[in-house]
Amino acid sequence: MPRVSLSIVIPALNESGEIVHALTRLQLLRDQGVEVLLVDGGSEDDTVRLAKPLVDVVIDSDRGRGVQMNRGASAASGDYLLFLHVDSHLPPTFSADDLLGAAWGFFPVRLSGRAWLFRVIERAMCWRSALSGIATGDQGLFVRRDLFDAIGGYPAIPLMEDVSICRLLKGRCRPSRQRHPVTTSSRRWETRGILRTVLEMWRLRLAYFFGASPQYLAGSYYTNDIDRPR
């Protein structure tokens, strides 16, 4: 058994095409005593049915990543929480004990696409998060349970919940950064266009930095199903 008690919380919405592949990758960790919880935001496909044999708990929730991850955290039993998106895969060598001694942190990221622009984007993401201490949800945020509870969990906002919780956690202590990257699907960039998506993400972050409300930003961002909160 690992020395670290870990629960992995996965928010999902209409992910029947990806969910089995994503959860199969976590079965070795389950065999090692890691708890895996899927928090479904009202899927209308077979996500829940397909997930049930591959997780410890399935939880029904209102839609929205922040809301779903808080629901999962409230049901989790681990001393550490790791919030993982369906299309983000942990390093194959990862174990719960890799988090030993960390208060909170995240992983570097690698994008699945082969285009050279994805190498530039992923390096920029890693550089930005290392410098700022602010990670995206694609980077697998992990946090000690007592610290998560102390800050009140994820803010109940429809967008920028990852930025907001990192700011709260930074107010308590500096993040730890894992050595090996998570691999995240590049489908968002491929669907919307690589340069368009990069510019849009920077526009949203700058707007949020200068005081735009998450509700307003969400309305301008969620233009199709692939972008909906999961």
* pLDDT band, very low/low/confident/very high, at 7 (cuts 50, 70, 90): very high
94 within a domain of the structure (yes/no): yes
* pLDDT band, very low/low/confident/very high, at 219 (cuts 50, 70, 90): low
28 within a domain of the structure (yes/no): yes
Percent of the chain with pLDDT over 90: 74
* pLDDT band, very low/low/confident/very high, at 193 (cuts 50, 70, 90): confident
Residue 228 has pLDDT above 60, yes or no: no
* pLDDT band, very low/low/confident/very high, at 216 (cuts 50, 70, 90): low
Question: Distance between CA 160 and CA 109 in Å, rounded?
Answer: 18
187 within a domain of the structure (yes/no): yes
Question: Distance between CA 76 and CA 117 in Å, rounded?
Answer: 38
pTM: 0.88
State the pLDDT at residue 82. 98
pLDDT in tens, 103-144: 999 999 999 999 999 999 999 999 999 999 999 999 999 999
**What is the residue range of 163's domain?**
6-227
State the pLDDT at residue 74. 97
pLDDT in tens, 75-110: 999 999 999 999 999 999 999 999 999 999 999 999
Contact criterion met (CB below 8 Å) for 41 and 69: no
Lowest mean pLDDT: which of 144-153, 191-200, 218-227? 218-227
Residue 192 has pLDDT above 50, yes or no: yes
Residue 13 has pLDDT above 90, yes or no: yes
Torsion-angle region of 14 (φ positive above 0: left; ψ -120 to 50: alpha; else: beta): left
Lowest mean pLDDT: which of 23-37, 137-151, 190-204? 190-204
49 within a domain of the structure (yes/no): yes
What CATH number does the domain containing 65 carry? 3.90.550.10
The overall average pLDDT reported for the chain is 90
Question: Distance between CA 195 and CA 117 in Å, rounded?
Answer: 9
pLDDT in tens, 155-169: 988 788 999 999 999
87 within a domain of the structure (yes/no): yes
1 within a domain of the structure (yes/no): no
SS3 state of residue 104: strand
Q: What tokens were used for 230?
A: 């999961």
Q: Number of structural domains, the chain?
A: 1
Give the number of other Cβ atoms within 10 Å of residue 104's Cβ. Answer: 26
159 within a domain of the structure (yes/no): yes
Residue labelled with tokens 């969990």: 153
Residue 192: name the closest of 204, 206, 175, 180 by CA: 204
134 within a domain of the structure (yes/no): yes
